[in-house]
Structure 1
């Protein structure tokens, strides 16, 4: 390192230093121009003041008096003719400032420094040092919050992931902290935070990150991200009919609130298994619809995400079959109205004929009994009139009695209606 003492003599030309701007923006630079008038053919040497003395830091090898600087400080230049080893007088000093934004106890401020070096670009971290290589701070990257899954509506008990995105810091390892409604509620050893939400999780979320290997460098707090959590939904089940027509089917439709999306539907029927119906057991024309051709109780629910999140079950719907009478059977109804009365009349006539037959048979049995009774009374009277023929009549009476016993009479319960016939008494009907 060389130090130079400059003096001005009347016979030497003087270099002139101009700056396009005396303030370097964060991540930017300014151009300094050095010239010696009125002659040409000069090359230029550049000096920057460090620790109280000017130190040469660059030399233009070509006849170009422009240089770009990114450091704040005091600059000076001079011209030289390389072949003759002749130097002009040095220029006046020009002070260049730099705006550096850094974090000081979680407050971000912008200050103009002189002897400051800031490295980086506008889209990455801008780190500022002073001339003694003391780290002053890091310009904040822009940060914002994203959410996965990014659905229009989130429900209680769903799992979500919030990410603190740091522009330009995709490959940097970060530790981040999160706050909701101005209160720090969580810290993560990374940019992502995964958790199960509830209705109380609703609110405005903000995040801020720091490098893992540099606790003094941090981003700004992100803008607020609104999270709204609704209560757990219940599936709705509808049917175009509750009765299955002969040889047909009905269509069931399962839905979840219209403002939500990404649902897959699961169908159930009252049976021994509690597992949802499969494509082999039912007809699913589209997601959320099922054609039913068997009667029974049906219900459904929705599910989405990984791991799967399920809604509450829908109400159950009872589906029945519509039993109708065939056309051939219905066409016989008019004929039955004609044949029915005719058959009834015929049955009545047959009953009357049967009754008359039974009545005539009973009268015939009654007459036979009356005739037998009269013969017995006559035989008893003749036996008392002729005493001389007692022996003969006694024999005859015995034969009559034997004949009467041998005669086969019908059983009363099967063919005849009997009446009491007393000897010597006339029965009248």
Structure 2
């Protein structure tokens, strides 16, 4: 009686939110994607959990689904996703201790693909990468859904919805471009799909602006493509110089750079120059078919010869002797 008891209570607060990085940020279809999850105080005992994001339009958020093989987490702070073919989002978190205390989920990070996806695709009108300051642009979502949202990830690392800065009309986001329009854009569907992504850049110098007219989507190998140059007050310019990866490739009186059959070697950065003014450069992506067209022709010739041989063989067998 009269004694005192000292009780000690310690609280282990949830660690801070980890930072997720993805590499590469732009995807070559079928390539591997490396995820890295960085905690504020790295030490032994952490286990890392990896998720893919599934768009949840009804709650204006994402559902997180565990990636294969990490239901108990991984000791490594990195995770490789193999064979990714389309735009995708990822999240990580970490945990340690007994009982386990988990960090918050990281902010979602995305790997983007420019390839059109039948279940969800984004088209841009006007169909080009570069635009003038204050231009009106429409971003339209198409695919297997009746509900859509357009997402934007700007050059400062901020992600937002079309409804944050413009109004969605059905499946289309209509916007006027200003300096903050420089961003990657993509669609997310009510059925949980991601579309292809597109880069949009804005020429913000009102009095000195010139833009390269180049396709916003990848060009398929073997197709033709035309690149142009525009000044704000003139639709068509003549005597335009064109550069590929900073190398001058055309400097005559023509208005456009025409490539009759695109190959992988044509992929790269392009810019134009007119009357001493140079545009910004934009990347033109080339989508390679699984087999060259010449290989398809060769295969067809072989199949035709085999069919002729088999037909001749059957005729010979059926001739009465």
Whose Rg is larger?
1
Calculate the TM-score normalised by the size of structure 1: 0.24
Higher RCO, 1 or 2 (CA under 8 Å, sep at least 6)?
2
Higher helix share: 1
Calculate the TM-score normalised by the size of structure 2: 0.32
